[in-house]
Structure 1
Amino acid sequence: MPNRYAPAHVCKSGCNSAKNTQHFGSAIRAEFPLLVGLGTVAIFLVVGSDLNELTTRALPLLGVFVWLFAVILWSAMCVVRHADCLAIKLGEPYGTLILTLSAISIEVVMISTAMLHGANNPTLGRDAIFAVIMIALNGLVGLSLMLGGLRYREQHYNIQGVNAYLNVIMALGVLGLVLPNFTTSTSGPTFSTEQEIFFASVSLLLYAIFLLIQTLRHRGYFLDVKEIATQHSPRHLARVRSTGFHAVMLLLYLVTVIFLAEKFAIPLDNSIEQFHMPQAFGGAIIAALVL
């Protein structure tokens, strides 16, 4: 009797082994950008000082700039991919919140390191935020509406959620980008220390209220009532793994991007100096990486 069922057992074991090997190979291919990012991190840990010295010349500077830009952009796209998978696992609006916090973390680190590295671009933070608003509201939203209209003819969206987002963005945009032009306590379009504290406090308060609206009181504003969870295609669901896996990979990609962002600040700052680029170029590059 045991011999009778042995072939089936062996076949089942072999099939499971082949399936596990296939899944492992698929995971390795999907996370290949992480290997590239970690390899780049290792290179900069070992010979980072030598590479920084090479960036004083135009051609090596261009090579290091393109190399780091491509790796950071590739890793940032993987951050979005894993955040999107977590959004599917956890549901909205928590998925959007995870993606937002991930993008903000990358942007804050890149702006901070770039500003701390060189004193020739003190307005980098303002330029980056302005570029993000312009690219997001004009570029990405416009492109999404155009492509969505061409494919689906008519699109459905939650107008209440859109209004909530736009109200917060416009309020923060006016406070941070417009109001400094009309203050008289300091010379130039800048805030005084008291005004900076006020602006930071109001920004935190507005975002805290927005989070309460998004996650608790009016959560339905940020959900698509016509969306059915079972409508996801099998191909998309096949890429979604466990919550722990995507959370760990998201953190690994974030750490990689944050480390490389610190290294990217040097060639970015040197590029602005050597190629006589406008000061807003740094903000546009950071916005492009984040978005």
Structure 2
Amino acid sequence: MPAPERLLPYWTIAVPPLALTVHFLLHSSAGPAAAAVLVAALLGAVLSAVHHAEVVARRVGEPFGAVLLALAVTVIELGLIVSIMFGGQPEPTLLRDTIHATVVLVLHGVAGLCIVVGAIRHREQDFSTRGAQAYLTVLLPMVALTLVLPNFTTSLPGPYYTATQLAFVSASCLVLWLAFTFVQTVRHREYFLPLPATTADEAPSPAAVAPARPPGRQSLAALALLLLALAAVVLLAKDVSPYLQSLVTKAGAPAALVGVIVAAIVLMPEGMTAVRAAKKNQLQTSINLALGSGVASIGLTVPAVSLVAWWTHTPVALGVTPGGAVLLGLSFLMAILTYGNGRASLLSGVVHLILLATWLFLIVVP
């Protein structure tokens, strides 16, 4: 019976309690060795949490499975952001930097890498334009409301919103995410399903199309391990944040790089899964994972962090620089071109990766 081993590999069982142990042993320690162990434990806890969330999501089915997975990823991102943003060295721009990084990484990094990997192995890959356009339809106004509009409001000098404005924008992002989740999981699920294979060799197995529902006992074990892993992520994020900020400062890099690192940690598990799907000629799954991460990140994280900021009376800077706004506009223009014809080629993937490299270069060398 190989199913239990595939659903709950040994490392996913061992990592959550081990990560908690590392926190309790090293949370007050100093030095590069302790920092390295804490970072390794944090990364392991993140990977384990997402794995167990996927197992539980398969058990509960849609639409609750997609909501559960999004909530798990949001807890990870929220733990990282809050621990740094409201820690010993407050970073009022961290929410903006993380959202900005998430958008660029999903539009250019994850999606671009998936397109390149898929094109190398399968030349061109098909996907549903209606599904991809649905993601962009929600993601574009979310980005405009959170990252661009704060620079143009007049009640308070940009890049800040007033408390009332921030509450309205947070509620709008949450409503957009809820509406999108309903469309994705109930009203138009067919928009987001893989396209039928065109040849017998490409035809996926029934198990790949409809994964078996995990047994109840394994699902309960995964749920318990998920909660344990999320607790470890939140605690370890608080331990790691001073080291992360110190490392960026010592390197002479701008504070925005902290947001890039946070976004990369959060997107790492789903990014790895997306690349594996692209290798298997399942680009639609890759797009769902990549763009879905961006939608959930803004739709859930912005309201949660805004609530914490309101409770602690902490200002939150959201508006990006004019140069950042130009690159965001170019990012969405390129995304519309890429996802508008239903076929992805090597050229479009390379262009996305070049835009990612340009954005990263301008962060370090503004």
Displacement after TM superposition at 1:211 (Å): 2.0
2:7 paired with 1:31? no
The one of 203, 206, 212 aligned to 2:182: 212
Q: Which stretch has the larger CA shift, 126-135 or 74-83?
A: 74-83
The one of 25, 36, 39 aligned to 1:43: 25
Q: Which stretch has the larger CA shift, 73-82 or 94-103?
A: 94-103
- Residues of 2 paired with 1:83 and 1:172: CA distance? 25
The one of 147, 153, 156 aligned to 1:177: 147
Match in the other structure for 2:118: 148
Displacement after TM superposition at 1:111 (Å): 0.6
2:240 paired with 1:264? yes
Asked if structure 1 preserves the Cα contact closer than 8 Å seen for 2:17 and 2:228, the reply is no
Match in the other structure for 2:92: 122
The one of 253, 266, 290 aligned to 1:277: 253
- Residues of 2 paired with 1:255 and 1:120: CA distance? 22
Match in the other structure for 1:164: 134
Match in the other structure for 2:342: none
- Residues of 2 paired with 1:30 and 1:286: CA distance? 22
Provide the TM-score with structure 2 as the length reference: 0.62
Match in the other structure for 1:254: 230
Match in the other structure for 1:97: 67
- Residues of 1 paired with 2:115 and 2:66: CA distance? 19
Provide the TM-score with structure 1 as the length reference: 0.76
Asked if structure 2 preserves the Cα contact closer than 8 Å seen for 1:213 and 1:219, the reply is yes
Structure 1, unaligned runs of 5 or more: 1-18, 55-59
Aligned AA (1:265): S
Aligned residues: 256
Higher Rg = 1
Displacement after TM superposition at 1:176 (Å): 0.5
SS at match of 1:43: helix
- Residues of 1 paired with 2:128 and 2:249: CA distance? 45
C-alpha deviations, 1:266-289, integer Å up to 9, x for none? 222333444443111210111111
C-alpha deviations, 1:122-151, integer Å up to 9, x for none? 101100111111111110001011111222
Asked if structure 2 preserves the Cα contact closer than 8 Å seen for 1:92 and 1:223, the reply is no
2:185 paired with 1:221? no
Q: Which stretch has the larger CA shift, 105-114 or 266-275?
A: 266-275
Residues 1:117 and 1:198: Cα distance change in structure 2 (over 3 Å):
same
Residues 1:157 and 1:80: Cα distance change in structure 2 (over 3 Å):
farther
Residues 1:104 and 1:86: Cα distance change in structure 2 (over 3 Å):
same
The one of 174, 198, 210 aligned to 2:168: 198
Aligned AA (2:136): L
Asked if structure 2 preserves the Cα contact closer than 8 Å seen for 1:115 and 1:121, the reply is yes
Displacement after TM superposition at 1:39 (Å): 2.2
Q: Say which structure is richer in helix.
A: 1
Q: CA RMSD in A?
A: 3.0
Aligned AA (1:31): I
Residues 1:86 and 1:154: Cα distance change in structure 2 (over 3 Å):
farther
Displacement after TM superposition at 1:27 (Å): 4.9
SS at match of 2:98: helix
- Residues of 2 paired with 1:132 and 1:92: CA distance? 25
C-alpha deviations, 1:200-247, integer Å up to 9, x for none? 1211221121122122222222223538662439xx97x988322222
Residues 1:245 and 1:127: Cα distance change in structure 2 (over 3 Å):
same
2:256 paired with 1:286? no
- Residues of 1 paired with 2:130 and 2:98: CA distance? 28
Aligned AA (1:42): F
Structure 2, unaligned runs of 5 or more: 197-202, 268-366
SS at match of 2:238: helix
Displacement after TM superposition at 1:115 (Å): 1.0
- Residues of 1 paired with 2:263 and 2:257: CA distance? 10
Asked if structure 2 preserves the Cα contact closer than 8 Å seen for 1:92 and 1:222, the reply is no
Matches within 5 A, 1:62-77: 62-77=32-47
Asked if structure 2 preserves the Cα contact closer than 8 Å seen for 1:160 and 1:221, the reply is yes
